[in-house]
């Protein structure tokens, strides 16, 4: 059985990702010659090449692809083992790395970071906002907040926000004034929307109109893949929006948005938010602190809005 030089496996993975020795060397902070030596040692030990050379590019061959799949799993398992050992030893991390979808980071998490700092002054929260479903273990991320139904292979998940959070009709203060809603207690009927520009998915708007007893086909002026952008567009008076009350709450409280109607709907296409993490971190103190804080803040928000 061939014994691989284990120190070369992370190097092999980075070369496979960058497809270029110079780029891989910069990523790993190694010299070009040191990296070439490690790759030659690995291929010599295996007895066959792992890449096809095409100019400066290195493309995995079939043997390289097979090895990469196993290396990714093995390194992820090692990362989980190291994290589990730290948790078992009771070591307190100085930071917790969290991947968050941008809309949740912008509209809910960041406005509450002061509360996190007061609660856990010695625990830094490193936030990586990305719409992509990144590989937590590969990127060195401890946990993520994901928008979807899952399941996410290799990760434990806990629902933070369900699908029953209602969508409410919001617009800018200028839109409220234009629609004759100068008083905060004034509300709007479906017929009163007139020719106002509508933002977001047509299906949600048509469901809202149907709930109001009006059959109307909707052609939005803009559709967004991120709720944060949708609400920002509404704040800038580019149109009216239907958004989860939870994510619009701060803008409503601060007067950047107005709720224009008491009518709300639960949209059939709504997706929940989950906290996801490697199972080995389930009892890791920093993760427990994050989970408890998130649940408390979300409960406080739902209670305040009820």
Tell me which architecture the domain covering 8-85 has in CATH: Orthogonal Bundle (1.10)
- pLDDT at position 168, please? 93
Residue with tokens 């949708």: 230
Higher local confidence (pLDDT), 165 or 304: 165
Phi/psi at 228 (5° precision): -60, -45
Average of pLDDT values for 117-141? 83
Q: What is the rounded distance in angstroms from the CA atom of residue 58 to the CA atom of residue 19? A: 5
- pLDDT at position 281, please? 87
Q: What is the rounded distance in angstroms from the CA atom of residue 5 to the CA atom of residue 8? A: 6
Q: Quick one: which H or E segment has residue 285?
A: helix 285-305
- pLDDT at position 169, please? 94
CA-based end-to-end distance of the chain:
65
How crowded is residue 19: how many other Cβ atoms within 10 Å of its Cβ?
A: 15
pLDDT tens track for 71-108: 888 877 776 666 566 555 554 457 899 999 888 898 89
- pLDDT at position 298, please? 86
pLDDT tens track for 21-54: 888 887 777 788 888 888 888 888 888 999 998 8
Do 93-161+272-305 and 8-85 fall under one CATH topology?
Answer: no
pLDDT band at 301 (very low <50, low <70, confident <90, very high): low
3-state secondary structure of 203: helix
Average of pLDDT values for 107-126? 89
pLDDT band at 172 (very low <50, low <70, confident <90, very high): very high
Q: Quick one: which H or E segment has residue 146?
A: strand 143-147
Higher local confidence (pLDDT), 82 or 13: 13
Phi/psi at 77 (5° precision): -65, -40
Tell me which architecture the domain covering 93-161+272-305 has in CATH: 3-Layer(aba) Sandwich (3.40)
Higher local confidence (pLDDT), 93 or 125: 125
| C-beta separation of 120 from 290 below 8 A | no
Among 74, 9, 63, 68, residue whose Cα is nearest residue 41:
9
Q: SS in 3 state form for 65-116?
A: HHHHHHHHHHHHHHHHHHHHHHHHCCCCCCEEEEEECHHHHHHHHHHHHHHH
3-state secondary structure of 143: strand
pTM of the prediction?
Answer: 0.62
CA distances 192 to 126, 176, 255, 261, Å, are: 45, 11, 22, 10
Domain ranges in the chain? 8-85, 93-161+272-305, 167-265
Supply the mean pLDDT for the chain: 84
Average of pLDDT values for 157-170? 86
| C-beta separation of 257 from 240 below 8 A | no
Dihedral class, residue 218 (left if φ above 0, else alpha if ψ from -120 to 50, else beta):
beta
- Is residue 55's pLDDT more than 70? yes
- pLDDT at position 92, please? 47
Residue with tokens 């078992």: 88
The number of angstroms, rounded, from the C-alpha of 183 to the middle of its chain's C-alpha atoms is 37
Is the domain defined by 167-265 classed in CATH 3.40.190.10? yes
């Amino acid at each position: 059985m061939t014994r691989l030089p284990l120190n070369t496996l992370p190097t092999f993975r980075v070369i496979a990702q960058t497809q270029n020795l110079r780029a891989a060397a910069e990523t790993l902070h190694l010299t070009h010659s040191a990296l070439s030596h490690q790759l030659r040692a690995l291929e010599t030990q295996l007895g066959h090449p792992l890449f096809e050379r095409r100019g400066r590019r290195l493309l995995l061959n079939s043997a390289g692809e097979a090895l990469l799949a196993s290396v990714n799993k093995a390194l992820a398992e090692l990362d989980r083992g190291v994290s589990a050992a730290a948790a078992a030893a009771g070591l307190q991390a100085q930071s917790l790395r969290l991947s968050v979808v941008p809309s949740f980071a912008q509209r809910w998490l960041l406005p509450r970071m002061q509360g996190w700092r007061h609660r856990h002054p010695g625990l830094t929260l490193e936030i990586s906002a990305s719409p992509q479903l990144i590989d937590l273990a590969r990127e060195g991320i401890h946990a993520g907040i994901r928008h979807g139904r899952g399941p996410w292979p290799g990760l434990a998940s806990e629902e933070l926000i369900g699908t029953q959070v209602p969508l409410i009709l919001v617009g800018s203060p200028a839109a409220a004034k234009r629609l004759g809603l100068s008083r905060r207690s004034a509300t709007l009927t479906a017929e009163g929307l007139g020719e106002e520009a509508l933002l977001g998915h047509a299906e949600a708007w048509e469901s809202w109109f149907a709930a109001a007893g009006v059959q109307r086909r909707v052609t939005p002026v803009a559709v967004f893949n991120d709720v944060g952008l949708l609400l920002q567009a509404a704040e800038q008076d580019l149109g009216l929006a239907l958004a989860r009350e939870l994510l619009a709450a701060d803008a409503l409280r601060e007067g950047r948005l107005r709720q224009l109607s008491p009518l709300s709907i639960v949209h059939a296409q709504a997706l929940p938010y989950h906290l996801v993490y490697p199972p080995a971190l389930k009892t890791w103190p920093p993760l427990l602190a994050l989970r408890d804080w998130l649940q408390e803040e979300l409960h406080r928000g739902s209670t305040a809005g009820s």
